Amino acid sequence: MSTKWVYFFGKGRTEGDGKNKNLLGGKGAGLAEMTSIGIPVPPGFTITTEACVQYYKDNKSYPVGLWDQVIAALTELETAMGKKFGDVNNPLLVSVRSGARVSMPGMMDTVLNLGLTDESVKGLEKSSGNARFAYDSYRRFIQMFSDVVLGIGHHQFEHILKDMKNARGVKEDTELNADDLKGLVIKYKALVVEEIGKEFPQDPKEQLRYAIDAVFDSWNNQRAKTYRKINKMSDDWGTAVNVQSMVFGNMGDDCGTGVAFTRNPSTGDKEFFGEYLVNAQGEDVVAGIRTPEPIAKLKTAMPEVFAQLEEVYKKLENHYKDVQDIEFTIEKGTLYMLQTRTGKRTARAAVKIAFDMVAEGLIDKKTAVLRVAPEQVDQLLHPMIDTSVKYDVIAKGLPASPGAAVGKVVFTAEEAESWAAQGEKVILVRAETSPEDIGGMHAAQGILTATGGMTSHAAVVARGMGKCCVAGCGAVRINDVQKFFTAGAPPLKRVTS
């Protein structure tokens, strides 16, 4: 028997185990689980992480059976949706998204509106009765597919879009009409031919195959690799691929898309927290072109949808017994859930949520203890830089001891002690500290050293003192005779009075 690489979900039927994040990826498991507990999820299928791992083992070729299973699942999806891939009357469109076992936000690739061609765009126009929407979807698809799959930079399309807006004397994308967008499609396709010497692919299945390749390949793009390294994730896990029928948040003012947390991820307060955009597709929220509305506004704008969303988020939180970070789309007044995952939160929120959930009887005390990561405790014990303020970074070093500190620069332990004795806040800047500097280190608000590592004297002692220390800051050049240091920028001098 050949390996099962593809798992279908939709219309109350799920092949995959919604608990198996290792096989289905976090997103795929969430979609399967939501489907199985009766939450509205657009049908689709998940290609397993194992398929991705095998793809890499086989030198980037598909394992036996994978493509056949994809085609079979696609046929099932067509039946479930009552639409056909590439159809000239009522075409099925899909999104193709990555989903590793642990969420890697923004690190890998996504393609939306896949299945649009010169023919099927006419079908979309017919089925939606909205030419503007159909061609807007097509030009978005060309732009995204070209960026992700064909390697043609996003900005090149943005240029064309900007020229079009200038020519029409409008500011917003939404002010372009159907004919403008048809014109854009022609210009976009011309750019593709110019860049790759081939026509934009017109076979939806070929598009799908390219997109799956691109998601597999994005597992090993540089930013994904770096992200995994920072977060101590294995390079061997691979990513799943989720192919899901499209729902549209951009078909009019009874449509929209949003992101929300079941509780406030910053304070931990028990309040539904999030944002949404009317008449928009997912990437509009992320791109930051338009300012989203607070989720509370949805209550007055679309009361029935909001009531449904409230029911869904409560059901999800009760089911997972933890804060969920959810994505939803509203298509013509109908709510669809696109994602649910454990919500990332600040240390403060983690502690509050754990306590509250015990009080609510949702989790037991042992589970509550496991809900706060040991590393998060650091956040609660040390002063932090206000992340809402922008600072100029003059140099970077090793994070030897956590915290934040403000003070005047001094270059010797004696200075640190005598200045501190006069009530000054100081930061001790040394090439490296030695045991004789202990007093000065104690007197200082923070310590900066030019050499030395995470286990250097300065680092070990500063951690012992619970004091902020940046060690091994190579860019720092100290002139302790003339009492200044440089770090690329203009010299920072000791204040001499």
Q: Using CB under 8 A as the criterion, which residues of the chain lie in contact with another protein when the complex forms?
A: 232, 366, 369-370, 372-375, 377-378, 380-381, 435-436, 438, 452-456, 460, 463-466, 472
DSSP state at residue 434: -
Least distance between another protein and beta carbon 207 (Å): 36
Q: Looking at beta carbons only, is 313 or 411 nearer to another protein?
A: 411
Q: Looking at beta carbons only, is 31 or 372 nearer to another protein?
A: 372
Least distance between another protein and beta carbon 378 (Å): 6
Least distance between another protein and beta carbon 454 (Å): 6
Least distance between another protein and beta carbon 158 (Å): 35
Least distance between another protein and beta carbon 374 (Å): 4
The count of other CB atoms within 10 Å of the CB of residue 196 is: 13
Least distance between another protein and beta carbon 444 (Å): 16
Q: Looking at beta carbons only, is 453 or 491 nearer to another protein?
A: 453
Token pair recorded at residue 3: 């390996």
Among candidate residues 293, 237, 280, the one with its CA nearest the CA of residue 112:
280
- Alpha-carbon distance of 275 to 288, in angstroms, equals 12
Among candidate residues 361, 297, 43, 98, the one with its CA nearest the CA of residue 214:
98
Least distance between another protein and beta carbon 445 (Å): 15
Cα 334 to its chain centre, rounded Å, is: 25
Least distance between another protein and beta carbon 318 (Å): 23
- Alpha-carbon distance of 84 to 133, in angstroms, equals 19
Q: Checking DSSP bridges between strand 240-245 and strand 94-99, what pairing results, if any?
A: antiparallel
Long-range CB pairs of 16-24 (<8 Å, 24+ gap) are 16/46, 21/101, 21/102, 22/49, 22/101, 22/237, 23/48, 23/49, 23/50, 23/240, 24/48, 24/49, 24/99, 24/240
DSSP secondary structure letters along 154-174: HHHHHHHHHHHHHHHT-SSGG
Least distance between another protein and beta carbon 421 (Å): 16
Q: Which amino acid is at 243?
A: V
Q: Looking at beta carbons only, is 21 or 27 nearer to another protein?
A: 21
Q: Looking at beta carbons only, is 130 or 456 nearer to another protein?
A: 456
Q: Looking at beta carbons only, is 160 or 460 nearer to another protein?
A: 460
Q: Looking at beta carbons only, is 178 or 460 nearer to another protein?
A: 460
Q: Looking at beta carbons only, is 81 or 400 nearer to another protein?
A: 400
Helix-helix angle 21-36:49-57, to 10 degrees: 150
Helix-helix angle 66-81:204-218, to 10 degrees: 120
Least distance between another protein and beta carbon 222 (Å): 14
DSSP secondary structure letters along 444-463: SSEEEESS--TTSHHHHHHH
Q: Looking at beta carbons only, is 122 or 463 nearer to another protein?
A: 463
Q: Looking at beta carbons only, is 255 or 413 nearer to another protein?
A: 413
- Alpha-carbon distance of 215 to 145, in angstroms, equals 11
Is-contact 2 13, C-beta < 8 A? no
Is-contact 145 111, C-beta < 8 A? yes
